[in-house]
Structure 1
Amino acid sequence: MKKLLLFLFIIIFFKVSAQEDAWVFLKDKPNAITFLNNPLTMLSQRALDRRSKLVISLDSIDVPVDETYYNQLKNETSITVLAKSKWLNAVHIQGEVEDINDLLSTYNFIKSIEFANKSLNTSGKSNSKSKRIVSNHHHKFSEIETDFNYGSADNQIKMLKGEYLHEQGLTGDNQIIAIIDAGFPNVNTLDAFQRIRDNNQILGGYNFADRNTDFYTRSSHGTHVLSSIAGYIENEFVGTAPDAKFYLFITEIAETETVLEESLWVEAAERADSLGVDVINTSLGYTTYDNPDHSHTYADMDGKTTFISRGAEIGVSRGLLLVNAAGNSGNSSWKYIGAPADAPSVITVGAVNASEEIAAFSSFGPTSDGRIKPEILGQGQNPALIDYQTDEIKTSSSGTSFSSPIMTGLIACLNGNEGFILKSSGKSNSSTDNFNTFLKQAVYESADKYNNPLDQYGYGIPNFEVAFNNYNSFFNFGGSELKSLIIYPNPIKDEFIISVEDAILNEFTIQIFSVLGKKVLEKINSNSQTVNISFLESGIYILKISKDNQHKSLKLIKN
């Protein structure tokens, strides 16, 4: 009998262990036109208004996964459906390898299948080409013990000149922030969150980990993260965006480490987008998993390989500002940032201590394709937080998990400045403007090592007073000389001409930025009005022209 039980155990064990995770990518969205003609079936009015402001048109990416396709997979007895993504038009499933592969021949609406275990894929990167770096950390969000009166939060805000934004009346009151994290216990009861509860600043949330609406549960990590932005104890503690509104999403399953969490994050980001969220903070990162066959290599940190980073890039293209912790692997064998911090358009935040010295645990860049990461730094070593049990201020926890939300709050405050710009100038947004690109560039340029970035330091510690002035300068059209300035032709093959009606423009500065905020050209034009950009790759760029205290920004299309 014992032998029989052992035999059955072995069979069951191998049956369970044979389960694999995979993403099924679908060919199309048959009802796309119907949804696009009825946008409120996909997005809230606030989301549509945000798209209009940013001049981002709706397209098939916004259309939900086809319900008929999804239901057929859901009803397939040989697999289990775990998640789905409209942005990537994909369904996350689990099953045996043979059963998953059989889906390709069974359903003609399947475009391709991608296994989390890359060795099972017939195409794509080969793990033999890159050394797998084994990390000794397990939970990516682990806390390392070690005209407001800001109290205990004074240093972490003033280090970044965040008080300057607050003095300008920018406290996040017209911004919605989504926190994607591991849990928010006691946010509904702690005194430190009484202010945002009384002011109805918590708009809702969802627990993707358990598929229910109870988001005041699970890990306390999210509570501590939220306190950095929204906590308030009079004369003792103030978060960086005390008047912002919030959605709280749980995607992290703290007791395990599985690739499903990447799909849940993408689902949450899609939900945030549909609700009209402006900024997302993620104090999570993904490198290694309980199943080592699913773990990523450093080569995967290229911003376009992992499922979560692909989703993050789409999120930014929808108009979201994404802020992500760099990770706490600086002292480990992994060392580098994780996903989605590797995504090009994500604002990745590393950590310093109270004396503005780099925290040893803060993860390194660059990305595997050579891009600067992290971009900026905030206080992540022993910052002030609200304890989720005692409601008291504590400074015993460290991690980029906290420098990220501190930064998120100030970015949201700065993002709220666009309303002031439009109101004061009487100007509405047009296709020549890209608020998010300008904002990121303004923040990066304000950092103390912008001209000499380092692998762990990135561009360094930003100064939000400088960033505020830089950001405003992108929209300063007060000068008469630049008011009538145009460029032609546009789209551009090799050269374009700068023309000013009834005037000759001398001694002006030209800067050109990529849509990711990287400066690709800076020059002073003294005589010629012709600018050669034949060296640039095809794509969209932002041209900024400055003369004295006048500035004008235009969109360039390079063919």
Structure 2
Amino acid sequence: MLTAKSKAILCFIIFISFQSLAQTNLYFVTFTDKSDSEYSSKTPEEFLSPKAISRRQAHNIQIQEEDLPVNKNYLDSFTKTGIIIKGSSRWMNGVIVEMSEEVSELTRSKQFVKSVKYLQPAQTSLNQLKLSSPVSNIQRQSAFLSSSSSSIDYGFSLNQNAMIGVPSVHALGYSGKGKLIAVLDNGFLNANTLTFFTHLYQNEKILGTYDFVSRDQNVYDDGGHGVNVLSVLAGFEEGKIVGPAYDASFLLLRTENDFSETILEEYNWLMAAEYADSAGADIISSSLGYNTFDFTEQDHSYADLDGTSTIVTKAAETAFSKGMIVVNSAGNEGNKSWKYVTAPADGPSVIAVGAVNSDKKYVTFSSIGPSADGRIKPDLAAMGAGVYVGNPDNSYSSTNGTSFSCPLVAGLIACLWQARPYLSNKEISEALKKSASKGNDPDFQYGFGIPNFQKALTYSSPDTLKIAGLFPNPVSIPGNVKLIIENDLVGNDVEAELFDLTGKKIFAKTLSKAEKINQMVFPGDIQRGVYILVLNTNSANQVIKIILQ
């Protein structure tokens, strides 16, 4: 008797035999709307995880129509006509489909179809059926991880960590715990059997996996690069390698096909970012970049690197708008004809990470800025030459590339966000850049420079006085500030009054039954300058000098 998997394989073979009669291609079809959707922004629990909803609520991010899944009726209309759906995108309101050129012409005429974009011949990315790798034989029991830098032996990974202040991070007890990081790469070959990842599986830190190339959940039989990246970010084998965020949780997502370089991979990245969003990820770490392809007509020009043009950059910017931080390698084009960062590192909100050597000097392979529209790129830099990594055969080696400076910064961000959980993604990014080694003098090689945890921690510290701390200060107008109320005053009414230096009252607000973290918005018509913020409760008062800019 045939098993379910045998039947699936048989059906697949029969399907291929029919498809071989006509050349099929992959297309991205965009829909006109999401009318009559079975989903609603009022019931987000039907399509977003509790963590994803919580992330939006924490930062006052509204659930919008673009968050809703694509219209099921439109999908059904396609499948009834024999069109094969390969994947869908909520944010771009479209689907990747396989169909013949003749069918594509008919598809364009459908009333609900906005556009049909040719991607490539289907046979170049034909999904191969893969048997799942055996489940790791690591027993699922809690693994002890030290949080004191004095007791952690970083081995040969010490230099790459020390450059950005990681030992002091760990000494303070921050190792990414509670943060969810989505790693997008070419796969994670044997990751579930490697000793430097034992802690991730023992402590159930891998919360999800998906292969967007082969369309299954197995990410463990492809991709040594992904293993290298993850080891820098979260490996833990004392005396050999320790990653900054070894106690974070992870989504392992394969978006890259080692055997080709096509625009389809940007759509894979898009769908992986949406997966990360739905799962509630805080950070996306992507050591990938796109500029030229196997099909030269798909190549990007430098002008496309303007932060708004490529699909992958649009995806990264949308991810940021949902409350995530996207950390991406700047690229290794610095000593090639291209020179500049690659997509999505050009995104205005993306933290593009360049590379320096152990002496903190720029290395020539690291892609430079500016973006096509003249912005500072890269944003930050970390060690990318002689980086110590773990390999899929359980060995270790030293390697080069912005692929490895990227996860160092992603791990640092996880630790800083653990220490400052009340900050938004924008505030975390600002704290890292403004406190970095070139925070006041950024350039097109280092960006804002090499980040440092202690300096970022100090920069992002609220003024801790007897009623509340205030962050940020200075404040951009119009803009939000956070009042972090002292624990014993939470639940009290707090009167906030803003005065100019002549004593004139400019603004007043009452925080009724103040919570621990409170948002306060200064109107946009207030002039820039130095002001005095006076806070009053029944039992205390406080004066804070504040700069509006």
Which TM-score tier does this pair reach, normalised by the shorter chain? 0.7 to 0.9
TM superposition shift of 1:28: 1.0
Matches for 1:138-537 after TM superposition, within 5 Å: 147=149, 148-389=152-393, 391-395=394-398, 397-419=399-421, 435-473=424-462, 476=463, 478=465, 501=497, 505=501, 531=527
Match of residue 85 from structure 1: 89
Question: In the alignment, residue 58 of structure 1 is paired with which amino acid?
Answer: I
Describe the shift of the 1:465–1:116 C-alpha distance in structure 2 as closer, same or farther (beyond 3 A): same
- Look up the SS of the partner of 1:111 in the other structure: strand
Matched residues, number = 457
TM-score (norm 2): 0.76
Q: Give percent identity, aligned residues only.
A: 37
- Look up the SS of the partner of 1:531 in the other structure: coil
Match of residue 540 from structure 1: none
Deviations 1:73-123 (A, max 9, x none): 34444x654332101112234556665344232x11112334559xxxxxx
TM-score (norm 1): 0.75
Deviations 1:500-550 (A, max 9, x none): 63966589xxxxxxxxxxxxxxxxxxxxx95159xxxxxxxxx99999995
Match of residue 113 from structure 1: 116
- Show structure 1 runs of 4+ deviating over 3 A: 19-22, 31-34, 74-77, 79-82, 93-102, 113-117, 479-483, 499-507, 543-554
- Look up the SS of the partner of 2:447 in the other structure: coil
2:288/2:403 contact within 8 Å kept: yes
Match of residue 128 from structure 2: none
- Look up the SS of the partner of 1:263 in the other structure: helix
TM superposition shift of 1:282: 0.5
Aligned counterpart for 1:45 among listed residues 43, 50, 59: 50
Cα distance in 1 for partners of 2:383, 2:443 equals 17
TM superposition shift of 1:333: 1.2
- Look up the SS of the partner of 2:347 in the other structure: coil
Greater CA drift, 93-102 or 165-174? 93-102
- Across the aligned residues of Structure 1 and Structure 2, the Cα RMSD in angstroms comes to 3.5
2:39/2:46 contact within 8 Å kept: no
Describe the shift of the 1:323–1:546 C-alpha distance in structure 2 as closer, same or farther (beyond 3 A): farther
1:365/1:373 contact within 8 Å kept: yes
Aligned counterpart for 1:60 among listed residues 58, 65, 68: 65
- Look up the SS of the partner of 1:65 in the other structure: coil
Describe the shift of the 1:481–1:500 C-alpha distance in structure 2 as closer, same or farther (beyond 3 A): farther
Describe the shift of the 1:153–1:506 C-alpha distance in structure 2 as closer, same or farther (beyond 3 A): farther
TM superposition shift of 1:307: 1.0
2:187/2:254 contact within 8 Å kept: yes
Match of residue 136 from structure 2: none
Question: In the alignment, residue 399 of structure 1 is paired with which amino acid?
Answer: G
Cα distance in 2 for partners of 1:225, 1:401 equals 7
Relative contact order: is structure 1 or structure 2 higher (C-alpha 8 Å, sep ≥ 6)?
Answer: 1
